[in-house]
Amino acid sequence: MCAKQVMTALAPTGAQTSAVKPRKKSSATESTHRETSKTAVLLEPGPAGLDRLEVDYSGAWPKFTLNAAGITLFEGEWGGSLEIDGKAVPLTGQWDWCCWHGDEDGSYLELELPLGPHLKLERQFFLARGQHRLLLGETVVSGKDARSIRVVSELPLAAKVTPSPDRPTRELKLKARGRPARFFPLDLPQDRVESTRGAATTADGTVRLERHGTGRGLYSAGVIDWQPERTRAPVDWRTLTVSEDGVQLGRDMAAGFRIRLGDEQWLVYRQIHRSAVARCLLGYHTYYESVVGRVLPKGEIKTLLQIQ
């Protein structure tokens, strides 16, 4: 998938590569990444204050702390488990970074855990600038077909965060010190009446996400939003059809999602296995591995993130 990529705006010692689409205009960011200590701090301003995401991937599990405009929402290890064809896969080894990027639209970090010659686990963090929004993504990449893939993720809630599920949908509501935030599991059906093998629940101080798939991979994504003006805004999200040369692709090859929250609408795309042909979703064609874009009122996509 992605080799190590870095933008010079974030790490003066690195060289800008063609793998990350250059911007005509770019503003400096105070986000930092230290490869030697395996730590990163993503900082992005917004109307309600400064957002700060700290990531430490030096241990057995990545740790992260999300301070959302002065309120800590998540803090601790991002744990989990993986089963393929009913057998547990030991998630041991060394986490490493494979992409680090930032510009006027936000800061991005991607981590990778090799699990063998044909298997790896990848995790994404994209902190959007000016939006009080974080995208978390997790990808299983396998070189072999599997009858079943089961992934469990456990996201660590901060000590004073009170979670509660939304009754008609799979949205999770979070509240800390009287301020609300919202979590949306994009790869699960929005309405609870629509059956699925996966789940998004809260227990023992964690947001627990369970996903199921088949084939050669699986991508799951969640969005956390704490923009004060969107705490009560109507929301809808759905899985998008991804096609190549007019043929619909399986979810083990590529996946895309759309979320509309109030007047703000995002497209999220992830290519699990590469292709020399552009993929299409929501009328948008791309060769890139990862895309986050804002869907404009007339249907155009303003890209916020493009990673090859």
Q: Which residues neighbour 199 within 8 Å (Cβ) at sequence distance 6 or greater?
A: 188, 208, 209, 210
Domain spans in the chain, listed from the N-terminal domain onward: 20-239
Name the token pair of 82. Answer: 């993986």
Q: How far apart are CA 61 and CA 290, in angstroms?
A: 23
Per-10-residue mean pLDDT of the chain, 308 residues long, equals 51 32 46 97 97 98 97 98 98 96 96 96 98 98 97 97 96 94 98 95 96 98 97 97 96 98 96 95 96 94 95
Q: How far apart are CA 236 and CA 231, in angstroms?
A: 14
Q: How far apart are CA 288 and CA 222, in angstroms?
A: 20
Q: How far apart are CA 200 and CA 19, in angstroms?
A: 34
pLDDT at 308: 87
Among the listed residues 223, 222, 225, the one whose alpha carbon sits nearest the alpha carbon of residue 210: 222
Answer for the pair 20, 308: CB distance below 8 angstroms, yes or no.
Answer: yes
Cβ-in-10-Å burial (0-12, 13-18, 19+) of 248 comes to exposed
pLDDT at 22: 33
Domain 20-239 is of which CATH architecture? Distorted Sandwich (2.70)
Cβ-in-10-Å burial (0-12, 13-18, 19+) of 296 comes to exposed
Q: How far apart are CA 55 and CA 94, in angstroms?
A: 15
Strand order, beta sheet including 49-56: 32-34, 39-46, 49-56, 63-68, 71-77
Answer for the pair 41, 53: CB distance below 8 angstroms, yes or no.
Answer: yes
Q: Which residues neighbour 12 within 8 Å (Cβ) at sequence distance 6 or greater?
A: none
Among the listed residues 170, 303, 145, the one whose alpha carbon sits nearest the alpha carbon of residue 239: 170
**Local structure of 230: helix, strand or coil:** helix
pLDDT at 18: 31
Give me the phi and psi of 228, to 5 degrees please.
-55, -35
